[in-house]
A = this chain, B = another copy of it.
């Protein structure tokens, strides 16, 4: 169903950048910036893309805009990197429809967060099992485990059970917080029990990326506005150089921590991307955060300090 060139599987590693969705100051999609941002990410060396996630303001796009963004990015990427599409929705029909559309346009797989109001292990498992059955074996799935946003808690045993039952589940976006022990448990128990090893990419802005790589993560799936750092850190880990990796990471940590702020973090990220020339406007759709003069000056100072530390 996908273009065949890229199909998400358990071997995925590196940096799948969570792509912002650029708007003009009038709030309309800025397709020029969609292209330039795609180029920016590719130039910075990302392995893949994750588009239309929460940080991509997907719930604020119309259906036509959703299609436009998918088409535009997939066309611009043009097979040079796998593209995962966020398809989370309160209706399973919509998840199904959007997943099929994404795959037909050349996506490598889809990312699904649980619907709200799932409370017990059985309910969470039931939700994902229904989705996996609906999408079928030909659509690779990344589970998004982000309880801070969804209020749904996906336990280690549910993750194991889903891995055992559905070969199409090939990746976990790990962003439970605190969640490092969970990551270790998944890796350890999977190995002990001879379970299929899936790809685990970490979110939460990358705040614990070095620790998570040491605990068995395969890379990052986040949208920090300096993707080149994420790329280089993952590469250094892959090359067996964790100390060098963490030294580099720590130079960026002050700004990364700054971007980690829920809500306003998206505005800070878009403004940073704008300053770096990746997009033309930092506009966030309403209701959404807007930076004031103090926020701007604070960001300027933190960037200047980071630039100084890098030289």
Binding site for B on A (CB under 8 A): 27, 59-63, 90-94, 97, 115, 117, 119-122, 127, 130, 147, 153, 155-158, 177-178, 180-181, 184, 207-208, 211, 214-215, 243, 246, 250, 253-254, 257-258, 261-265, 285-287, 292, 294-295, 298, 302, 305
Q: What is the bound-complex CA distance between A208 and B117, given in angstroms? A: 22
Q: Is the CB of B119 within 8 A of A120?
A: no
Q: Is the CB of A263 within 8 A of B178?
A: yes
- Chain B's closest residue to A119 (CB) is B153
Q: Is the CB of B250 within 8 A of A254?
A: yes
Identical subunits present? 4
| Chain B residues within an 8 Å CB radius of A294 | 181, 184, 215
Q: Is the CB of A121 within 8 A of B120?
A: yes
Q: A217 CB to closest chain B CB, in angstroms?
A: 13
- Jot down 11 A-B pairs with beta carbons below 8 A, ordered by A: A59-B91, A60-B93, A60-B94, A62-B97, A63-B63, A93-B286, A115-B287, A177-B262, A180-B261, A211-B258, A257-B257
Q: A188 CB to closest chain B CB, in angstroms?
A: 9
Q: Is the CB of A298 within 8 A of B211?
A: yes
Q: What is the bound-complex CA distance between A181 and B185, given in angstroms? A: 33
Q: Is the CB of B121 within 8 A of A147?
A: no
- Chain B's closest residue to A253 (CB) is B253
| Chain B residues within an 8 Å CB radius of A147 | 119
Q: What is the bound-complex CA distance between A156 and B180, given in angstroms? A: 28
Q: Is the CB of B253 within 8 A of A177?
A: no
| Chain B residues within an 8 Å CB radius of A130 | 286-287
